[in-house]
Amino acid sequence: MSDPRDPKTSVPQRLRSVSDYVRGDVRSLAAYSTGEQQPGFVKLNTNECAYPPSPHVREALAKIADESLRLYPDPTSRHLREIAAATYGVRPEQIIAGNGSDDCLTIVYRTFLGHGDSVGCPWPSYGLYDTLAGIQGAKVLHVDYRRSARRWDLPDQLAHTGARLTLVANPNNPSSTLTPVSQLRRIADDLDGVLVVDEAYVDFALGTDPAASMLPHLDAHPNVIVLRSFSKSYSLAGARLGLLFAAEPLVAEMNKVKDSYNVNVITQALGGAALQDRAHHAQVIARTLAERARLESELTALGWSWPDAVGNFLLCQVGRRALEIYHALRDARILVRYWDTPELNQAVRVTVGTPDQNTALLDALRKLM
């Protein structure tokens, strides 16, 4: 690269700080940091599903034709949305498919938030909510969870922050706790704004509580958006697919904002195949919940605790040794998630892995504790 401070280049004076053209909101941002991706490690740090996707997904992958690759994909993901509508009991017009639910979140932020508007969300929660607000030039209003040893309770005051857009991850990340749908419905009614219920992990919660999702109540709440992810219970984090559900008038506005061809043809096909294999999906959830029960039992024996978990992960409250434990596990080639923030620096978040992975984790911890 030519050095802009080098007088030998032909760069005009005013270009000496080309980053001056970058929006101030962006210049002052720290980049969002994703969980570590370390090949060869036992990855219990980013809450992917422990089990492979449906064999139907592999069949769909094998059927992708050169012609499908060559031509633009259906910009509306029509066939996928029809399958999703049939699966979830909604209409295709209530759905937008996204390049991961992160893309769905971006679509939501760009639709509803102008510079200086506010986003409300409980805290601690998914860090991307804050990052996206920064990118959009919006302010973040946090309402702290009321935390006890076994519960994270959502304060009703979340309905009264004045934010134009309010987000709740349910189950919450990183706590793996569930807010009752009845409370979310009350918040939606009380809000003067839009409520996003991010149900990335809800399929695991539905395994034990069939009433855990907001989705059946969509028609009663025209200001509610529900997000689902294929990165967790459908084992398709690598393929990037999320679904957004909302009332048709909101969907129509959000469709203006999404990138035209936001979901590639392969992911559209894999997502449809995954949705249609209900038996595999149910089995993955059952196996995950069984392994979670074993992990919980063994971690309890080690003296660990966590808030009551409904997702495929546990936010283990391990006290002052959290960072030490994180590093010791890392040395044993096991990745868990640690955050160096006052609210979370006495915890590690552990994804429920395969039986072998969980055994490896427990063995490492027994040596350590």
- For residue 319, state whether it binds its own copies (rule: CB under 8 A): no
Q: Measured from the CB atom, is 257 or 328 closer to its own copies?
A: 257
- For residue 182, state whether it binds its own copies (rule: CB under 8 A): no
Contact set for its own copies, span 30-49 (CB under 8 A)? 30-32, 34-35, 37, 43, 46, 48-49
- For residue 201, state whether it binds its own copies (rule: CB under 8 A): no
Going 200 to 309 to 238 to 269, the CA torsion angle's sign is negative
Pair 184, 212: CB distance under 8 Å:
no
- For residue 57, state whether it binds its own copies (rule: CB under 8 A): yes
- For residue 8, state whether it binds its own copies (rule: CB under 8 A): no
- For residue 162, state whether it binds its own copies (rule: CB under 8 A): no
Q: What angle do CA 279, 238, 32 make, to 5 degrees?
A: 130
Contact set for its own copies, span 278-317 (CB under 8 A)? none
Residue 337 gets which letter from DSSP? Answer: B
* Contact pattern for its own copies over residues 232 through 251, marking x by CB under 8 A: ---xxxxxx------xxxx-
The two three-digit tokens of residue 236, written as one number? 């398709």
- For residue 125, state whether it binds its own copies (rule: CB under 8 A): no
- Considering only 157, 182, 222, 333, the residue that binds its own copies (CB under 8 A) is 222
- For residue 174, state whether it binds its own copies (rule: CB under 8 A): no
Q: Measured from the CB atom, is 148 or 260 closer to its own copies?
A: 260
- For residue 86, state whether it binds its own copies (rule: CB under 8 A): no
Q: Measured from the CB atom, is 110 or 142 closer to its own copies?
A: 110
- For residue 111, state whether it binds its own copies (rule: CB under 8 A): yes
- Considering only 85, 123, 261, 289, the residue that binds its own copies (CB under 8 A) is 261
Pair 129, 119: CB distance under 8 Å:
yes
Q: Measured from the CB atom, is 250 or 318 closer to its own copies?
A: 250
- For residue 59, state whether it binds its own copies (rule: CB under 8 A): no
Question: By C-alpha distance, which of 167, 155, 184, 157 is closest to 113?
Answer: 167
Question: By C-alpha distance, which of 133, 110, 300, 121 is closest to 195?
Answer: 121
- Considering only 260, 279, 303, 320, the residue that binds its own copies (CB under 8 A) is 260
In whole angstroms, how far apart are CA 59 and each of 16, 51, 258, 273, 274?
A: 54, 17, 29, 8, 10
- For residue 25, state whether it binds its own copies (rule: CB under 8 A): yes
The helix/strand/coil state of 152 is strand
Beta strands in 136-290 (DSSP E): 139-144, 146-147, 152-153, 165-169, 194-198, 224-229, 242-245
Whole-number Å distance between alpha carbons of 348 and 341:
12
- Considering only 59, 114, 151, 208, the residue that binds its own copies (CB under 8 A) is 114
Question: Judged by CB under 8 A, how many residues of this single chain contact its own copies?
Answer: 100
Calculate Rg over the CA atoms of the chain. 22
Whole-number Å distance between alpha carbons of 341 and 338:
9
- For residue 14, state whether it binds its own copies (rule: CB under 8 A): yes
- For residue 155, state whether it binds its own copies (rule: CB under 8 A): no
